[in-house]
Structure 1
Amino acid sequence: MRHWELAVSLDPHSGQPLFLQLADAIAEDIRRGRLRADDALPGTRGLAAQLGLNRNTVVAAYEELAAQGSVRTRVGGGTFVTAATPLARVRPFAQPPPAAPTFALAPAAPDRLVAPATPAPGTLLLAGGAPDPRLFPARALARAFRRAIEARGRAAPGAGGPCGHARLRDALADMLARARGLPATAANTMVTRSIEQGIDLVARALVSPGDVVAVEELGYPPAWNALRLAGAELVPLPLDDEGLRVDALAALLERTRVRAVFLTPHHQFPTTAVMSAARRARLAGLALRHRVAIVEDDYDHEFHYAGKPVLPLAAGAGGGNVVYIGSLANLLAPGIGTGFVVAPAPVFERIARLRAATDPRCDAALEGAIAELFEDGELLRHVRRLKRAFIARRDALADALRHRLGGALDFRVAEGGLALWVRVDAAIDLDAWVREGVHEGVQFAAATPYDFRGRELQAMRLAFSWHDEAELHQAVERMARALARCAPLRRAPAARAAIGARAPRRGETERRRSA
């Protein structure tokens, strides 16, 4: 079942030779439990091609590991881990003192993330961000689901408990360890019915009434609602083209006790900004020093198209302070929203108790079917097909926007995700444009619902995942016709907030997320 690539981050500008960096990274993965005894390492040619290295560099790294006794090599049979050093015990998150200092919070925005009206037949959809159901291997899922239902009568006791189907937990943990660098095992991985259920469980496990939780000022309202229902007082922090402004978090930590930070560092929702390595390192250091929990929402990790894979915060040096939440919703058929949570043992135990109290049985048939898609490699093949399709669709949407709406919009091509974040010229009445779009048969929307303070944003999140290239070109043509029917905005441009996916200009800030 070892289908997933081994993810390793190397720094070519470091003074340390690349073969030693690679050997140290693999040795650290063994120590942390990401790689376990008897796990097979990738072949030297394959790993060299994946990492862009000379094969001799990988051979030298494996020889160094063999000299340390960490791996063994079988002639003609591969390289295997000899022993795994148990992960050092993670210190539980510290509870803040009962009398935390007060902080003047910005007023919370109402719950404004309302689902758009049902579109008329033939409407092209650029709002949202769900994947195209035409791309999903429905027959493979149907076969797997049928076998899972037939096997339910023979299922082992406990296979469908509150933490999820045992086979799917195993498969998820294996994928997360090998492809994302997490110290994940079935024992600290929970399958949830949706990413929102995962967020709710984590919020209730970590937060007590009155706890301060920092969030991105552009984000996902259902997550904010879950945190509020757990009793959190939310503090919005600004964004720029590298995601959350960690300097603003540092300033907040000097003023008040913060229980947790909730963020989307990989593809910030909704702006798609990717947090830089330096900023990630500073965030992890701050969290450890101030004993703040990080809740990492990695809702669409698979869809990163530029450069090498970006590993999650949970895979880094401060990973023991991170609760990691993810989703399979963008990989599976519409209506299947399966999510997952990986957490340090003390937090995971609390989450498991909460889940058992309110939802003691998982959807064993569905989760068993998804596990089979993992085990036979179908899901990995599907991910690769989706990435190729979405890169083509992203580029098609960007090309159409430049040619038909270049004077009205400002954007950059996203490194990952399922949508483009675009700024709209301040002279355009965005609300009127959206209304005219409905008449032209294209649905898009202003990004205002994603703003924590409820400000009107002169920006949009345009999804490219639902339609193919020809349909996306047609959708932009319809947008252009709708714009031609709009009168110029009469009120002062300053009446709206201009939000961009780049570093903010004067008077600007930034924001978040996909369906």
Structure 2
Amino acid sequence: MLGWEQRFTIEPAGDRPRFVQIAQALVAEVRRGRLRPGDPLPSSRALAQSLGVHRNTILAAYAELRAEGWIVSEPARGTFVSQALPDPSPRRFAPSATLREQVPARAAFDLPPAIEPFRFDTRAPPGTIALPGGVPDVGLVPAALLARAYRRALQRDAKALLGYRDPAGHPALRAALATMLSATRGLAADADSLLPTRGSQMALFLVAQLLVRPGDVVAVEDPGYRPAWEALRRAGARLVPIKVDADGLVVDELAALVARERVRAVYLTPHHQYPSTVTLAPGRRLELLRLARGARMAVIEDDYDHEFHYEGRPVLPLASTDAAGSVIYVGTLSKVLAPGLRLGYVVAPPPLLARLVVLRSTIDLQGDAILEAAVAELIADGEVQRQVRRARRAYHARRDALAAALHEQLGDAVSFTTPGGGMALWLRARDDIKVAAWERGAAAHGVQFQPGSRFAFDGRECQQLRVGFAGLEERKLREAARRLAAGLEAARRR
């Protein structure tokens, strides 16, 4: 079985001879699907050693099984489960049988409520153009440079990197990220105030688990990012939605909530609000920080795509002006490099960060030391910075191409403000258009978008939809706009 050493245990049963017990136990393994027709069995010597019996006992058991037709022996090859089983009503076996078919179908204990997965729409039927927001173009990733950095890291320090490491992360990566955040985002961060994680979602989950106690009120944006909500809910938070308008989170609404009850934290995406892409207005930023200080409320700032701002100067994070220690800053390199690399980070006041490191060690022990060392080298060599510039130029052009194609193909059927940054457009469909029907019509014409209901706190139907542009070349984006228009016409005819 793929070179793995098979393990068997035989419990003593009555006065039956030992070889009979072993033979019956192996038949039971065939019946329950662990052993399938054609599977190799251990050699008599290996199985005897494993079970702590004399080899002759195993030879006797194998002889019994051969006589009954359960196994066959082939000279110079070994012993195998028979392709033609003697059981008159055997369980169905197939080479493609999955683990799900072999284990019990039900648990013998109560399960918690099912978790609804968040759909990223990265898998689409063949020929379908998917427009998920926030998904980068992995084709732009310098894969050869990354592979070379991996090799160098292993050649230079294999023994250390392949062993257990500090759960706080590779020191070279922490230092490199701290330098990057200081230079590009104005954060007064150093290596001791930063924890690399396996993606920003891990960072959010760790923060939620550490910060929230069952029943704590946490305010979130509406519409907003559902995976973050789920991480907070799993920690026991009672989520309260706060409206988002053209200037971002409505801080006055948050202040009214704070006046009514204790709010443990607020989670928001102030740079390019997810999903609407709007930027939190300067006045609201200052008011939010003032409110957080006064209420002793944590601010969880998710800056998921800071690098991709195309016009004017990027707005610095809330954390850059937080002198009181209210802000927990979460970022990621997944949008710059690739989602599959799973590399995020969290910056927090040292007492909180120390607790995050300990908590992280209980679920992950440590990060991916080889990846962290490789990316630290890429940052030191300037490759990550060059990748940011390449991707920013490409995404800027793609944003403009999709915006122009939507205006041309859809006319007044949608309205939108072209965002200054980000990786998606947030459209508003005309009032006489049913977005759910449009989604179905678009899918029938080979294009997928994300309806606004997916981001609404209560899942309500709304007139908004989100279309991503970062992951597709301009030609594909123009074709996607054409298909969106065709899908809209089909929806209108229904």
Instruction: Answer yes or no: same fold by TM over 0.5.
Output: yes
1:195 equivalent in structure 2: 200
Residues in 1 aligned to 2:357 and 2:159: alpha-carbon distance in whole angstroms: 25
Kindly provide the amino acid, as one letter, of the partner of residue 264 in structure 1: T
Deviations 1:248-292 (A, max 9, x none): 111111111111111111110000010111110111011111111
Which string of whole-angstrom CA distances, capped at 9 and with x for unpartnered residues, describes residues 375-405 of structure 1? 1000001101111111110000000111110
**Secondary structure in 2 aligned to 1:238?**
strand
How far, CA to CA, are the matches of 1:466 and 1:366 in structure 2?
23
User: 1:368 — aligned with what?
Assistant: 373
Q: Which is further off, 165-174 or 120-129? A: 120-129
Structure 1: gaps (5+ residues):
1-109, 490-515
Q: Which runs of 5+ in 2 are unaligned?
A: 1-114
Within 5 Å, give how 1:420-459 maps onto structure 2: 420-459=425-464
Q: 2:358 aligns with which of 353, 368, 372?
A: 353
1:233 has 2:248 as partner: no
Distance, in Å, in 2 between the alignment partners of 1:152 and 1:193 is 21
Q: Aligned partners of 2:165, 2:140: CA distance in 1, in Å?
A: 29
Which of the numbers 266, 271, 284 marks the counterpart of 1:266? 271
Greater C-alpha radius of gyration: 2
Alignment of 1:238-253 (within 5 A): 238-253=243-258
Note the C-alpha offset of 1:112: 6.5
Structure 2 match to 1:10: none
Is 1:138–1:333's contact at 8 Å kept on the other side of the alignment?
A: no
Aligned to 1:132: 137
TM-score, normalised relative to structure 1: 0.71
Residue 144 of structure 1 aligns with an amino acid whose one-letter code is A
After TM superposition, the structure 1 stretch with the greater mean CA deviation from structure 2, 117-126 or 241-250, is: 117-126
Q: SS in structure 1 opposite 2:354?
A: helix
For 1:415 and 1:265, locate their aligned partners in 2 and report how far apart those are by CA, in whole Å: 13
Alpha-carbon offset, residue 158 of structure 1: 9.1
Matched residues in 1 for 2:317 and 2:201: separation?
A: 19
Q: Is the 8 A contact 2:154 2:161 kept in 1?
A: no
Distance, in Å, in 2 between the alignment partners of 1:169 and 1:226 is 25
Query: What secondary structure is seen at the aligned counterpart in 2 of 1:210?
Result: coil
Amino acid paired to 1:462 = V
Does residue 215 of structure 1 match 2:220? yes
Instruction: Determine the C-alpha separation between the residues in 1 that align with 2:272 and 2:122.
Output: 27
CA spacing shift, 1:156–1:463, aligned 2, 3 Å: closer
CA distance, structure 2, for counterparts of residue 114 and residue 380 of structure 1: 30
Q: How far 1:409 moved relative to its partner?
A: 0.5
After superposition, the C-alpha distances for 1:49-107 in whole angstroms (9 at most, x for unaligned) are xxxxxxxxxxxxxxxxxxxxxxxxxxxxxxxxxxxxxxxxxxxxxxxxxxxxxxxxxxx
> Structure 2: which amino acid aligns with 1:237?
I
How far the C-alpha of 1:159 sits from its partner, in A, is 8.6
Amino acid at match of 2:318: L
After the TM superposition, which of the residue ranges 471-480 and 328-337 deviates more from structure 2? 328-337
TM-score by structure 2 length? 0.74
SS at match of 1:407: helix
User: Kindly, what percent of the aligned residue pairs are identical?
Assistant: 49
Residue 413 of structure 2 corresponds to: 408
Structure 2 counterparts to residues 426-505 of structure 1, below 5 A: 426-487=431-492
Structure 1 distance, partners of 2:138, 2:238, is: 38
Residues 239 and 245 in structure 1, CA contact (< 8 A), matched pair in contact too = yes
Q: Secondary structure of the residue that 2:325 maps to in structure 1? A: helix
Contact 2:161 2:369 (C-alpha < 8 Å) held by counterparts:
no
Residue in 1 aligned with 2:325?
320
Higher relative contact order (CA 8 A, sep 6+): 1
Q: Retained in 2: the 8 A contact 1:323–1:341?
A: yes
Matched with 2:296 is 291
* Structure 2 CA distance for partners of 1:116 and 1:178, relative to 1, 3 Å: closer
Note the C-alpha offset of 1:176: 0.7
Q: CA RMSD in A?
A: 1.8
* Superposed counterparts of 1:115-126, under 5 Å: 115-116=120-121, 118-126=123-131
What is the alpha-carbon distance in structure 1 between the residues aligned to residue 121 and residue 256 of structure 2? 38
**What does 1:53-92 correspond to in 2, within 5 Å?**
none
Q: Is the 8 A contact 1:160 1:363 kept in 2?
A: no
Q: What SS class does the counterpart of residue 155 from structure 1 fall into? A: helix
Is residue 311 of structure 2 the alignment partner of residue 306 of structure 1?
yes
